[in-house]
Structure 1
């Protein structure tokens, strides 16, 4: 658990996912991070920070982030796990003071951020159950474990801070509405309703995720919690320039 102070009464949160930084991107992102720093108090990076999960890509991102003068809160995405270099990716980013969350939380002023990568499994009545072959049970268990990690992080915010405003940071979607636009056949691989359970139960103000590149920008849980799919391709398509979503809390 980490705590930092932001003086403004309202915290401006910039959020984007799926930036897919490549080894050839040196110099490409500095202006972006400079502009974000001028307009927001905290930057959320919602997974798929690297393009193919190479440590060298994370090192490029870490160098680019030196242009960012505000706190950066991030989670990893499926691309960041592609080559099993996730530990090295984490090390490269944490070295540059990125708050990389995986069942953890961090607080700035009166806003607390809890983050996990999340996982698939489907939504609502189409959610995959823990039944059948062991490989199916393992798949579902991963989604359950990610949901429990998120719940634990949110619970720590509740128990250790008074009146903290809770924000959930994910890569996979917690609701169906924000993946609409993608082929329905792949919905089970884009997120899981299990992630929405702690978001609803713990009084989260808003949740941010990526992963679904042609999904829908905004939706809400069954309890009315706002959910934003801030995948960079969606923000570009919606005309956000530079491509980040700004949310005040």
Structure 2
């Protein structure tokens, strides 16, 4: 005897994956004089989070000695670490060396390579300036302007390529510069174009598996915003996060 099918019965719902806790912080600005400034914080993050995301400006002037100070503190972190560099990490003209030191300390620098950790994809770039929406600078006029805009376009292209390489159902984009104007609100209006570019958000919005974006750079900005497609964006510059939560890092579930 054949069983009678129940058209209203859809069967058990598929299991939802367990949330993964991501701690995110930007704008550490480690100096040569810092001594174990962040060691305790990284140990605390290891107890509270599954993964740490560093959102750029990890050093104050991009000196190798500053990167070495940070690397020492990162030894107190026992969870996987991903990150991107910020504009301050380029100041001394040796970002590759800063990245090498941090990679040796266990940081997976995302600039040219996406990674998967605990089923979560991470893709990221430093980003660049350029402005938002109708105020976005276009490649018109002088060669210097076109070169400037080309850099902004190139960073967005790198991000898009990294995101495309991931096949994870849940992905996090890690940036330094902001992808939306909402999270830089609170900064002087005159400097908005220097705090990020909506080209980054355009790249992110092409991928349905991106569940959130974290960035830094806007020290006096706003904690939360979203892209045009509604993907949450969080400004994790430590001063913004400290004002909101009383601790210098955001704790987010993916």
**TM-score interval w.r.t. the shorter chain?**
over 0.9
The aligned counterpart of 2:252 is: 247
The aligned counterpart of 1:196 is: 201
RMSD: 1.0
- For residues 239 and 194 of structure 2, the distance between their equivalents in structure 1, rounded to whole angstroms, comes to 18
Task: Report SS of the residue matched to 1:212.
Answer: coil
- Spell out, residue by residue over 1:90-127, the C-alpha distance to the aligned partner (whole angstroms, 9 max, x if none): 11111111101113211012210001000000000000
- For residues 164 and 183 of structure 2, the distance between their equivalents in structure 1, rounded to whole angstroms, comes to 25
Q: Aligned to 1:90, which of 99, 108, 112?
A: 99
1:15 is displaced (CA, Å) by 0.3
Q: How does 1:1-249 map to 2 (within 5 A)?
A: 9-157=18-166, 161=167, 163-203=168-208, 204-241=210-247, 243-249=248-254
Instruction: Answer with 1 or 2: which has the greater Rg.
Output: 2
Task: Report SS of the residue matched to 1:136.
Answer: helix
5+ unaligned residues in a row in structure 1: which ranges? 1-7
1:9 is displaced (CA, Å) by 2.3
1:236 is displaced (CA, Å) by 1.7
- For residues 239 and 26 of structure 2, the distance between their equivalents in structure 1, rounded to whole angstroms, comes to 9
- For residues 249 and 38 of structure 2, the distance between their equivalents in structure 1, rounded to whole angstroms, comes to 13
- Spell out, residue by residue over 1:141-170, the C-alpha distance to the aligned partner (whole angstroms, 9 max, x if none): 00100000000000000xxx3x43111000
1:27 is displaced (CA, Å) by 1.5
TM-score normalised by the chain length of structure 1: 0.93
5+ unaligned residues in a row in structure 2: which ranges? 1-16
1:84 is displaced (CA, Å) by 0.4
1:25 is displaced (CA, Å) by 1.3
Runs of 4+ in 1 over 4 A off after TM superposition: none
- For residues 168 and 193 of structure 1, the distance between their equivalents in structure 2, rounded to whole angstroms, comes to 14
Task: Report SS of the residue matched to 1:145.
Answer: helix
Task: Report SS of the residue matched to 2:171.
Answer: strand
- Spell out, residue by residue over 1:32-66, the C-alpha distance to the aligned partner (whole angstroms, 9 max, x if none): 00000000000001000001111100000011100
Q: Size of the alignment, in residue pairs?
A: 237
- For residues 103 and 114 of structure 1, the distance between their equivalents in structure 2, rounded to whole angstroms, comes to 9
